[in-house]
Amino acid sequence: MANVVVIGAQWGDEGKGKVTDLLSRSADVVVRYQGGVNAGHTVVVKGQTFKLHLIPSGILYPDTKCIIGSGTVIDPAVLIEELDQIEALGISTKNLLISETAHVTMPYHRLIDKASEERRGNQKIGTTGRGIGPTYADKSERTGIRVLDLIEKEALQQQLNWTINYKNVILEKLYNLPPLDPTVVIEQYQAYAERLRPHVVDSSLKIYEAIEEKRNILFEGAQGTLLDLDHGTYPYVTSSNPVAGGACVGAGVGPTMIDRVIGVAKAYTTRVGEGPFPTELEGTLGELLCARGAEFGTTTGRRRRCGWFDSVIGRYAVRINGIDCLAITKLDVLDTLEEIKVCLAYEIDGERCDHFPSSSRKFSRCLPIYKTLPGWQQSTSECRTLEDLPSQALDYLKFLAELMAVPIALVSLGASREQTIIVEDPIHGPKRALLDSNHVPLIS
Ligand code: IMP
């Protein structure tokens, strides 16, 4: 039995979907603990491709329970669309459980998200426009609608009447937008409630029961460490806590119940939206990584900004999340390069800095100090063991593991499940904190 948290060690889109899909095979329960329909992963089932934003891909395994936890925000229209897609394939969704204390994204959240971004002008964050920030803001303001309110007809009516009138003032006076009709929204959301009701549960209790039954639980983070509201590149962040600690709050479990943290990082770096990105590559190399890595967002279709691997960020992610081992994804994207750079540290205002700065203003002045490594210039997509890898690719991985002082347990070399090298068991390997100081944190 092991309870494992999988997190993104960069700015999201690290390929967590593939890693959690692989690990879901040995999980009895998969819990999504934060975020909303801003996240997205592409799943191919029975030759058909579709995009999931909220439902963990573990739903495709017949015996795996999937829980959308308390720390998430749920857009019911999108969730129902996902349920419809899955059911249309003949796959049962009876194993999907929705937390009664998750918050619900309403039409005014989307409208305010888009309008406030526009109002920000060149200060914009580059949000996905899915209403995520305003939903979490209402949660903190204590004007949010929770799933348990959604499924109680009278409570919903009462709360929405009050809230929509309040939001209409903001929509009309602040953003010059037409008001919403409470009756229409209430009717629409009552219909959503009927569809979702059979899935609604006390999720932290279900998770606790699974822990007591010694089930394997996989806690799945969305986005990544640098998009964390508290520990990311504020204000260019999302409104929840993708870091491993967020799993405890968002799922409602104590830290003593987490056995292991797996960090997922790409062999290079990407980010979508605004904000500083020291190792960003503009021009041909950036284009090449974007094209070879198909770096376009699942949710918004936006082109992702691409750059070299940044080990300052990597070490920061190891520290903030307590990462035990790493999964390095998309190594094959680097296959054609003659040389590959890795950022070792930054120079800020003429001084060397080995640590991630908390200030985004300072971060925007960071100049990367690089080490250049030779590329391998051959395809790795068919490699299935470390021995199959060209020596330069192996050296590259060893270098990353050394820089971050964490073993690499898994290497991904393409989208399919087979295009993976399992170096050591990512779930049952040793806990990093328990390794003695003589442990050489290489990849095997
Ligand atoms: P929001 O989460 O829509 O409020 O967007 C806030 C920031 O997080 C923006 O820079 C988005 O591009 C980024 N973001 C949100 N979700 C994802 C994701 O799943 N992958 C990568 N970036 C994301």
CATH classification at residue 123: 1.10.300.10
Clarify whether residues 286 and 321 are in a common domain: yes
Q: Are residues 224 and 174 in the same domain?
A: no
45 within 8 A of 60, measured Cβ to Cβ: yes
Same domain, yes or no: 194 and 215:
no
Q: Are residues 264 and 350 in the same domain?
A: yes
* 139 flagged as catalytic: yes
In a domain, 209, yes or no: yes
What is the torsional sign of CA 247, 248, 253, 256? positive
Domain membership of residue 235 (yes or no) is yes
Q: What are phi and psi of 43, to 5 degrees?
A: -125, 135
CATH code where residue 280 lies: 3.90.170.10
> What's residue 166's pLDDT?
96
Q: Which residue's CA is the closest to the ligand 1 atom numbered 16?
A: 38
Our mutation pick for probing the ligand 1 site, out of 128, 269, 295, 329, counting the most ligand atoms within 8 A of Cβ, is 128
Structural domain ending residue among the three candidates 171, 198, 225? 198
Last residue of a domain, one of 145, 163, 198: 198
Q: Is there a binding annotation on residue 330? A: yes
Instruction: In whole angstroms, give the CA distance from residue 236 to residue 398.
Output: 31
List 21, 41, 75, 199, catalytic entry: 41
Against a cut of 0.85, is the pTM above it? yes
In-domain check, residue 412: yes
The total number of structural domains that make up the chain: 2
- Check if the beta carbon of residue 354 is closer than 8 Å to that of residue 348: no
Whether residue 210 is found in the same domain as residue 182: no
| 51 assigned binding-site residue | no
Residues 137 and 54 grouped into a single domain: no
Q: Are residues 316 and 262 in the same domain?
A: yes
Buried b (16+ CB within 10 A) or exposed e, 318-348: bebbbbbbbbbbbbbbbbebeebbbbbbbeb
Q: Select from 158, 182, 198 the last residue of a domain.
A: 198
Angle between helices 107-120 and 153-169 (to 10 degrees): 20
Tell me which residue has tokens 């250049």: 372
Is residue 43 domain-resident? yes
User: Is residue 30 domain-resident?
Assistant: yes
Paired tokens of 215 = 């089930």
Residue 363 and residue 299 share a domain:
yes
Contact (Cβ atoms closer than 8 angstroms) between residue 23 and residue 426? yes
Opening angle at CA 184, ends 178 and 190, nearest 5: 140
Query: 357 vs 142, 313, 363, CA distance in Å?
Result: 32, 10, 6
Q: Please give the pLDDT value at position 41.
A: 84
Residue 229: give the domain boundaries. Answer: 2-72+204-434
Compute the distance from residue 159 Cα to the ligand 1 centre, in Å.
29
Out of 65, 103, 109, 139, pick the active-site residue.
139
Query: For residues 76 and 81, what is the distance between their CA atoms, to the nearest angstrom?
Result: 8
Atom of ligand 1 nearest to the CA of 130: 3
Q: Which residues of 8-34 are buried (b: 16+ CB within 10 A; e: fewer)?
A: bbbbbbbbbbbbbbbbbeebbbbbbbb
Q: Checking DSSP bridges between strand 339-348 and strand 351-353, what pairing results, if any?
A: antiparallel
263 neighbors 322 (Cβ within 8 angstroms): no
Domain co-membership, 365 together with 347: yes
- C-alpha span between 83 and 94 (Å, rounded): 10
H or E element, residue 6: strand 3-8
Ligand 1 center from residue 246 Cα (angstroms): 16
Quote the CA–CA distance of 20 and 274 in Å, as a whole number.
27
Q: Which atom of ligand 1 is nearest to the CA of 133?
A: 4
13 is catalytic: yes
Centre of ligand 1 to C-alpha 400, Å, is 26
Q: Are residues 291 and 376 in the same domain?
A: yes
Q: Is 46 tagged catalytic?
A: no
Residues 356/358/360/361 CA torsion (nearest 10 deg): -100
Quick count: other Cβ atoms within 10 Å of Cβ 75?
Answer: 24
Same domain? For 344 and 417 the reply is yes
Which residue has 């603990």 as its token pair? 33
Give the pLDDT confidence score for residue 433 in this predicted structure: 58
pLDDT at 19: 92
pLDDT at position 431, please?
66
Please report, in tens digits, the pLDDT of each residue of the chain (444 residues total): 689 999 999 999 999 999 998 898 889 999 999 999 999 887 776 777 778 999 998 898 899 999 999 999 999 999 999 999 999 989 999 999 999 999 999 999 999 999 999 999 989 999 999 999 999 999 999 999 999 999 999 999 999 999 999 999 999 999 999 999 999 999 999 999 999 999 999 999 999 999 999 999 999 999 999 999 999 999 999 999 999 999 999 999 999 999 999 999 999 999 998 999 999 999 999 999 999 999 998 888 899 999 999 999 999 999 999 999 999 999 999 999 999 999 999 999 999 999 999 999 999 999 999 999 999 999 999 999 999 999 999 999 999 999 999 999 999 999 888 899 999 888 887 666 555 555 545 555
- 140 and 40 in a single domain? The answer is no
Closest to 269 in 3D by CA, of 170, 206, 332, 342: 342
Asked whether residue 79 is domain-assigned, the answer is no
Give the other-Cβ count within 10 Å of 359's Cβ.
12
In a domain, 301, yes or no: yes
Confidence (pLDDT) at 432:
65
Question: Which residues surround ligand 1 with Cβ inside 6 Å?
Answer: 12-13, 38-39, 125-128, 130, 132-133, 222-223, 227, 236, 238-239, 272-273
Is residue 217 one of the residues assigned to a domain? yes
CB 171 within 8 A of CB 180: yes
